[in-house]
Structure 1
Amino acid sequence: MIESKVIEIGELVAAFAEEKLLVLFGPTATAELRSICVIHEFNKQPENLLKPGLKMEIGGQTYTITKVGDAANKNFDELGHISIYFRTGENEILPGAIIAEPEIYPAVKLNDTIRFHQ
């Protein structure tokens, strides 16, 4: 199991709730990105972790990854960056994004633990 601790929540993160989009980024995020991101820190480095069927626990809710963009694992491994869409019906998935179900936007709080497991 890979875990990550939420260490900062940007002031504009809540504005993306309507879009059902959550942007995660590691501690190296720039000042401009921090306002729209949930900044998190891994307990151990992931390696090609993201794949359909993987479970993700965020804010007390368990999600299942259904789609993974072409660059998602590389970005997540190197930068801790991933855009998570909690909605379906997208024709094209963005390279650095994943889609997860159910379509419920997570209630993320400071110091929460995000867990990834089978």
Structure 2
Amino acid sequence: MAIKIGMLSSNYNTIISNPMAINALEPIIFAFTNREVQFVKPKNALEKTLLDAFYRPRVPSYVRLQLADGKLGEVILNALIQLERGISGDMQDLLESISTLRHVGLERVSQQTALWLLLSET
């Protein structure tokens, strides 16, 4: 349990370099921390959606238009609203929200969200 909690902390780089952590965590966790996705097979819809958000992102076209109009704040707020729906089970919204957050440069937020969703499942 301590390893899982540590993965959500600012010390996650130290934790993933620990051999005990590597043995204790599911392989999918490393897909969001060190890009070792080729060895990961998703076990459920959540894992597939999260992998897609990182490796086959889907940013809605309206997001690109809003960004072109300088509406970064609106894009982020809409992505967070979508994220809430995604956490409630809408995988399309989850995919688009994490893809959008990554697109606007919030990579660490996206990683932590994916890790939180995966770790809170177990």
Question: How does the TM-score come out when normalised to structure 1?
Answer: 0.28
Greater Rg by CA? 2
**Larger RCO, structures 1/2 (Cα 8 Å, 6+ apart):** 1
Structure number with the higher helix fraction is 2
Structure number with the higher strand fraction is 1
